[in-house]
Structure 1
Amino acid sequence: MPRAGSPFLSPPKHARRRRRRGPSLSIVFTAIVLLGGLAAAGYAGVRAYLDEDERLPAVVAFTQAWERQDYEAMYRLLDVKSQRANPKISFLADYRRANRAATVEKVRVGRAGPLLSGGKVVVPVTVETKDFGRLPDREIEFTASENEQGEGRVAWTPALRLPGLREGEDVRRRSGAPPRRGNIYAAGGKLLDSDELGASIAGVAGDKPTGLNRIYEERLAGKRSSTLRFGDRVIARVKGTPGKSVTTTIRLGLQRQANDALGGQLGGIAIIKPSDGSVLALAGLAVSAPQPPGSVFKVVTAAAALHYKKATMGSSYPARSFATLSGAKLRNAGDSACGGSLTTSFAKSCNSVFGPLGAKVGAKRMVAISKKFGFFEQPDIPAAKISTIPEAAEMKDAIAVGSAAIGQNTDQATPLQMASVAATIANKGVRIKPWLAGTKRKRTRVVSAKVAANVRTMMIANVASGTGTAAQVPGVTVAGKTGTAELVSTGDIAQNAKNTTAWFVAFAPAQNPKVAIAVMLPNQGQGGTNAAPVAKRVLQAAL
């Protein structure tokens, strides 16, 4: 390695040839006398001590820069003759072409050998490529010299671009015809893009694929046969492989019914199978337009309050129209007074209860459990946006935490995310990250089975006798929660559907869940009035 302060590392352009200092003459004389009959060896040892050679460090620095893919640094280490023969633009282009042809991903250099006669240094080099794997290990012989300033420099020709390359040879890759591309299928075996809604998820293939075609491009496209040549010599070959098809979890019929349930109005619906996290249908703005979730977020808050023991199923709360947090009033919808048991407070969607409960849980814990429920996580779904609540540091007082706990503040969620929240409760407190295709199943224990069962009890009450009665399905017990998210403050203005987003989340049958659903209708009023009936239609179709 180059020594600290070496002109090899920072060569002064105006420097004269350095004067190399050695020990005093008396020390030199003593060294020669001690070596006695080994005069030749003694002279070589003293010569090395007196005159440090910069050629080997130059080769080491050159190969290390190569390993970093720092071609500018490599060029600066070339000797004058090499730079004249290979202008920098040509030097950089030579490496770019060779790397592209060989599909180079990484270069690893081994320990440089000793400096040999004529300034030769041998360095083992390994090259990893995308298409051809690891090329045969070879050693490259470099030749180094010192310039007038005593700085080490490397002689270079294009043959040094890759190990095994010879003078005059170019690096070429020849690929065969594109292989047969795989298809994307819906759950029933039909092509996903045979349906307009399915096509929006499948996306398009091509140079800039979208949707599932982008996510699974490598699998679907397969691999061309390819041959790597140095000049006329074949260095490596790979056989082509046909593309493999992808089968998704989407039920095209259910997706059409979900889309029909929207009735042409702006909104989004996501349907998940709780037991395995598979996404059964996505309609409208199911993944792409996060909105304030409003009171459907109370499913998370209820779970947090029970999990962190800030409430029990035996807890009771006074009936009131608002709660005061940090000196500010957190009011119930329409200034209605509500309270009672935890289950009744949930069924009636009491902000005056769940805002303070969120504040008791605290900002850090609310964020922590939200993350377990899937907030802040990038979904593995095309075009899906991340759902968030404020970070703990942003919730500086009780009113900020309380507002977030009822789905306001700056909470943002997609129907996919809220369907996943419902599915987690349905799956006894275990969340499985929603998926459309593939084999990955990320499982997270969010809350205990007991806590999940208690939240389920509250959700059943919401549909049976609370704000979600419009989602009742004859002969089926539905567990759900309504939400009416304020887009602007509605406390002091006349009711206007455009000021709120209507939400409903549910799973059914409550005791043996087959589907979990979230419905979101931006600027369309009350969750119980507008979103719950839509959810009922979709649940009937799904079951």
Structure 2
Amino acid sequence: MRNNVRRLAYILLVGLAAVCVYLALIPVYINHITKSGAALADPRIAAGENRIQRGAILDRHGAVLARSVPAENGYQREYPLGGAAAHIVGYYSNKYGAAGLEKSMARVLLGLEGGSKIINLRNRILGRPGVGNDITLTVDAGLQQYAAKLLAGKKGAVVVLDPATGEVLALASSPAFDPLQPAKYIDDAEAPLLNRALQGAYPPGSIFKIITAAAVLADLPGMAGDTIKCTGKLTVNGFTLHDNAVHGPVDFGEAFTKSCNVAFGRYGLALGAGEFLKQVTAFGIGKSIDFELPVYAGNITPAGEMDGPTLASSAIGQGEVLVTPLHAALLAGAVANDGVIMQPYLVAGYRGRGGSSSRRHPEEWRRAMTPAVAAALREQMINVVRQGTGRAAALPGVTVAGKTGSAENPHGKSHAWFVGFAPAEEPRVAVAVLLENAGSGGSAAAPLAREIIRKALQ
């Protein structure tokens, strides 16, 4: 009799151990599947995920951007800001999968990473629904909604960040989409599912003169004092680079303030491909950014392929140069932060139901230039807004520094750019505004940037 009892006890212990191992392996399997992006293709995994109360996605003040609400057979997601934050939050759908932070942060939101493993195991043993971790973002919901509102009816993007920390305060892309109905937009010719702020590849036009100017101040300081005669065009090896006006004799400051293509084309040629590309690399163009969402790294012609016409064109942000609005904001942020580009980030941290938490701390990404060069550029960018092409970005009582750009492209009118920061004396925000085929950056992008800066500083 005693042997039978002992045998039964052994069987029960083995069975309990097998159940525990099985339950412990479930999150490992889900973790593997979510990493591969194929989680919802397996109906068993999809059903399992639906029974987990995914964590909420919150803005920096605790406002809800995404949350789980009870539904038949588990939970479904709700997005209070709708399309205004869709390109950040993304979507989660049994049928169409996931995108945005719903995809990249899925393991944290599902409680498979960063939460209390003991609590999760206990819930599974007791048959309780799983509970994920809440994620807190650096984004300000009010500023995000405002940026999205200003972009409504346009194609473009806005990025606002804190240049001293790298925190992204707003990241808007237009056209937007309804995160509850992503399938509606798959074949939309306007490409609303494209995150233009992070994956839009645009010629930067004259905002790229920030980089060329930094190279001149660092490597050819004597040339900054020279006067260049602008006749409205520059011919290089049979190629003609056109300007937006005949500026006449201009020094370095006037060339920057008036955005003279002839002068900056000459600066690029004087620097040579090697020195020019060294400065471009220092700003991180073409380098991948470790970010919570996919980011296009940018493009610049390699040194071995950069002839005279290409070098002159690249120095004014044309040719084969391509950047994203996020990287454009980092250009302004570098000047604002004494030459240092901080690592941009969206996720400030998370909080688990068991009391566990994680908080991200600011990190330096690249040193683009010396503090002295950054200080000189700051003055030039202040002059652009005070008396140059960026006057429409000026704010009463606030010193705004900026640079406009009107980037030629093969798809119609020029793209309109503005990058800047404020207050220039102690910068709190850096901004990039890109409007596709909107024409002049000074007349189209600068006024929109002004209102975003006004809102961000309130």
Equivalent in 83, 104, 107 of residue 218 of structure 1? 107
1:424 is aligned to 334
- Take 1:176 and 1:366, find their aligned partners in 2: how far apart are those partners? 51
With over 3 angstroms needed to count, the CA separation of the structure-2 counterparts of 1:520 and 1:338, relative to structure 1, is farther
With over 3 angstroms needed to count, the CA separation of the structure-2 counterparts of 1:226 and 1:311, relative to structure 1, is farther
Deviates more, 1:449-458 or 1:281-290: 281-290
Per-residue CA shift, 1:64-105, capped at 9, x if unaligned?
A: xxxxxxxxxxxxxxxxxxxxxxxxxxxxxxxxxxxx98999x
User: Letter of the aligned partner of 1:532 in structure 2?
Assistant: A
Contact 1:339 1:345 (C-alpha < 8 Å) held by counterparts: no
Matches within 5 A, 1:72-87: none
RMSD: 3.0
Within the alignment, does 1:484 sit opposite 2:406 as a pair? yes
Contact 1:180 1:222 (C-alpha < 8 Å) held by counterparts: no
1:34 is aligned to none
Per-residue CA shift, 1:296-351, capped at 9, x if unaligned?
A: 11011111211223555533323432223234322211x42344221111000011
SS at match of 2:172: strand
User: Letter of the aligned partner of 1:188 in structure 2?
Assistant: H
Within the alignment, does 1:534 sit opposite 2:448 as a pair? yes
1:520 is aligned to 434
- Take 2:137 and 2:143, find their aligned partners in 1: how far apart are those partners? 14
1:414 is aligned to 324
Equivalent in 62, 70, 89 of residue 202 of structure 1? 89
2:414 is aligned to 500
1:369 is aligned to 279
2:6 is aligned to none
With over 3 angstroms needed to count, the CA separation of the structure-2 counterparts of 1:521 and 1:407, relative to structure 1, is same
- Take 1:472 and 1:419, find their aligned partners in 2: how far apart are those partners? 18
Matches within 5 A, 1:432-511: 432-438=342-348, 439=360, 441-488=363-410, 498-511=412-425
- Take 1:370 and 1:176, find their aligned partners in 2: how far apart are those partners? 45
CA drift at 1:429: 0.1
Contact 2:419 2:433 (C-alpha < 8 Å) held by counterparts: yes
Matches within 5 A, 1:245-260: 245-260=134-149
Q: Equivalent pairs: percent with the same residue?
A: 36
- Take 1:356 and 1:102, find their aligned partners in 2: how far apart are those partners? 67
With over 3 angstroms needed to count, the CA separation of the structure-2 counterparts of 1:371 and 1:246, relative to structure 1, is farther
- Take 2:269 and 2:378, find their aligned partners in 1: how far apart are those partners? 22
1:393 is aligned to 304
Contact 1:486 1:499 (C-alpha < 8 Å) held by counterparts: yes
Matches within 5 A, 1:288-303: 288-303=199-214
SS at match of 1:201: helix
2:163 is aligned to 274
Per-residue CA shift, 1:109-139, capped at 9, x if unaligned?
A: xxxxxxxxxxxxxxxxxxxx968xxxxxxxx
Within the alignment, does 1:243 sit opposite 2:132 as a pair? yes
1:346 is aligned to 256
Per-residue CA shift, 1:24-48, capped at 9, x if unaligned?
A: xxxxxxxxxxxxxxxxxxxxxxxxx
CA drift at 1:192: 1.8
- Take 2:427 and 2:230, find their aligned partners in 1: how far apart are those partners? 33
Within the alignment, does 1:192 sit opposite 2:114 as a pair? no
Within the alignment, does 1:286 sit opposite 2:197 as a pair? yes
User: Letter of the aligned partner of 1:462 in structure 2?
Assistant: V
* Number of aligned positions between the proteins: 357
Contact 2:111 2:131 (C-alpha < 8 Å) held by counterparts: yes
CA drift at 1:383: 4.5
With over 3 angstroms needed to count, the CA separation of the structure-2 counterparts of 1:445 and 1:200, relative to structure 1, is closer
Within the alignment, does 1:358 sit opposite 2:294 as a pair? no
CA drift at 1:180: 4.4
Contact 1:485 1:500 (C-alpha < 8 Å) held by counterparts: yes
Matches within 5 A, 1:114-125: none
CA drift at 1:436: 0.4
Contact 2:257 2:389 (C-alpha < 8 Å) held by counterparts: yes
CA drift at 1:464: 0.9
- Take 1:475 and 1:507, find their aligned partners in 2: how far apart are those partners? 14
CA drift at 1:467: 1.0
Per-residue CA shift, 1:131-186, capped at 9, x if unaligned?
A: 8xxxxxxxxxxxxxxxxxxxxxxxxxxxxxxxxxxxxxxxxxxx999654322111
- Take 1:472 and 1:508, find their aligned partners in 2: how far apart are those partners? 10
User: Letter of the aligned partner of 2:397 in structure 1?
Assistant: G
Structure 1, unpaired ranges of 5+ = 1-99, 105-128, 132-174, 228-239, 490-497
Contact 1:310 1:360 (C-alpha < 8 Å) held by counterparts: no
Equivalent in 219, 237, 251 of residue 326 of structure 1? 237
With over 3 angstroms needed to count, the CA separation of the structure-2 counterparts of 1:338 and 1:280, relative to structure 1, is farther
Contact 1:344 1:461 (C-alpha < 8 Å) held by counterparts: no
Structure with a larger share of its residues in helix = 2
With over 3 angstroms needed to count, the CA separation of the structure-2 counterparts of 1:189 and 1:501, relative to structure 1, is same
User: Letter of the aligned partner of 1:215 in structure 2?
Assistant: S
SS at match of 1:209: strand
Contact 2:385 2:401 (C-alpha < 8 Å) held by counterparts: yes
Taking structure 2 as the reference length, what is the TM-score of the superposition? Answer: 0.71
Task: Return the structure number with greater relative CO, CA threshold 8 A, min gap 6.
Answer: 2
